[in-house]
């Protein structure tokens, strides 16, 4: 089989590629802040391209994912090896539209839309509400046109696809560390919702080290004890990230708003995939 995975980043996409590669050659094309392409065969990664940092996703949002549609189409054409894709599994409306376009062109036989989150009509600015309504319609449209629909959580609306299934989580399995140290790991894009100020305060009071893997303008504004708080920046290599966090005592996954008016309520938090892969308890 020739399988194409049009995915984002952070949700253990490598684990999905490893499992799918038992059934054929897999092209894993990841989008988002760090576009990346890998080839998997027989449970092994046989090719891995470079990670390319995207400075801003504003153009992507304004154009409703068109840049990603075009990029995904280019990746699919370059790596199909003259064959039709038997299955395309696509996350988000932009990747799903790429998959549907490939099917329309006769380059894909079956399209599965994987829905990882849902953005509710919360009390936000008019522009954001309008954008959420448009992207929500685009998501529902791709779900209706797909051959199958997978959801990562039963809380995500199925948009009339009563045959949608809640998929099992793919976790990239690393070996657990034999011993753990008095340290906490945080992986992700830091925002005020993540409670890092409280974590840094507790760390200073209790003498606990915190290792932060990620970056954002918000993180740079936080006061911190540099002897205890270690900022590692963004680490895109999952194996290297595992080596850095595997002996931490736990992974930190705090969210301030987990009510139905927040998107956090609906999906599976990407940092949890990383912690579970490294056998870390999750707080």
CA distance 68 to 280: 33
Note the pLDDT of residue 218. 92
Name the average pLDDT for the chain.
90
Beta bridge partners of 88: 4, 111
Note the pLDDT of residue 64. 86
32-57 tens-digit pLDDT:
877 889 999 999 999 998 888 777 77
CA distance 196 to 194: 6
State both tokens at 33: 């802040």
> Which residues contact residue 36 at a Cβ distance below 8 angstroms, ignoring those fewer than 6 apart?
9, 29, 30, 48, 49, 50, 51, 52, 236
Q: What percent of the chain has pLDDT over 90?
A: 56
119-176 tens-digit pLDDT:
887 777 888 888 888 999 999 999 999 999 999 999 999 999 999 999 888 887 777 7
Which of 51-55, 69-73, 251-255 shows the lowest per-residue confidence on average (mean pLDDT)?
51-55
Q: What is the largest CA-CA distance in the chain?
A: 61
pTM for this prediction: 0.85
- Pseudo-torsion of CA 257, 262, 264, 265, nearest 10°? 90
């Amino acid at each position: 089989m020739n399988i194409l995975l049009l995915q984002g980043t952070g949700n253990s996409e490598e684990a999905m590629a490893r499992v799918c590669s038992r059934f054929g050659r897999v092209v894993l094309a990841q989008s988002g802040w760090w576009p990346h392409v890998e080839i998997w065969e027989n449970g092994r990664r046989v090719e891995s391209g470079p990670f390319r940092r995207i400075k801003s996703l504003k153009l992507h949002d304004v154009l409703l994912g068109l840049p990603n549609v075009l990029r995904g189409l280019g990746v699919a054409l370059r790596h199909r090896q003259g064959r039709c894709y038997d299955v395309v599994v696509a996350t988000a409306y932009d990747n799903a539209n790429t998959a549907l376009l490939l099917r329309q062109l006769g380059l894909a036989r079956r399209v599965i839309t994987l829905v990882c989150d849902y953005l509710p009509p919360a009390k936000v600015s008019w522009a954001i509400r309008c954008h959420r309504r448009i992207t929500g319609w685009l998501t529902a449209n791709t779900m209706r046109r797909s051959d199958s629909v997978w959801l990562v959580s039963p809380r995500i609306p199925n948009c009339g696809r009563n045959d949608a299934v809640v998929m099992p989580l793919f976790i990239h399995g690393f070996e657990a560390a034999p011993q753990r140290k008095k340290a906490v790991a945080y992986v992700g894009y830091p925002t005020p919702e993540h409670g890092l100020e409280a974590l840094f305060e507790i760390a200073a009071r209790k003498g606990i080290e915190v290792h932060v893997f990620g970056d954002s303008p918000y993180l740079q504004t936080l006061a911190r004890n540099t002897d205890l708080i270690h900022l590692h920046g963004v680490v895109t290599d999952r194996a290297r990230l595992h080596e850095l966090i595997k002996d931490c005592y736990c992974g930190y996954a705090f969210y301030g708003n987990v009510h139905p008016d927040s998107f956090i309520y609906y999906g599976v938090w990407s940092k949890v995939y990383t912690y579970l892969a490294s056998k870390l308890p999750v707080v």
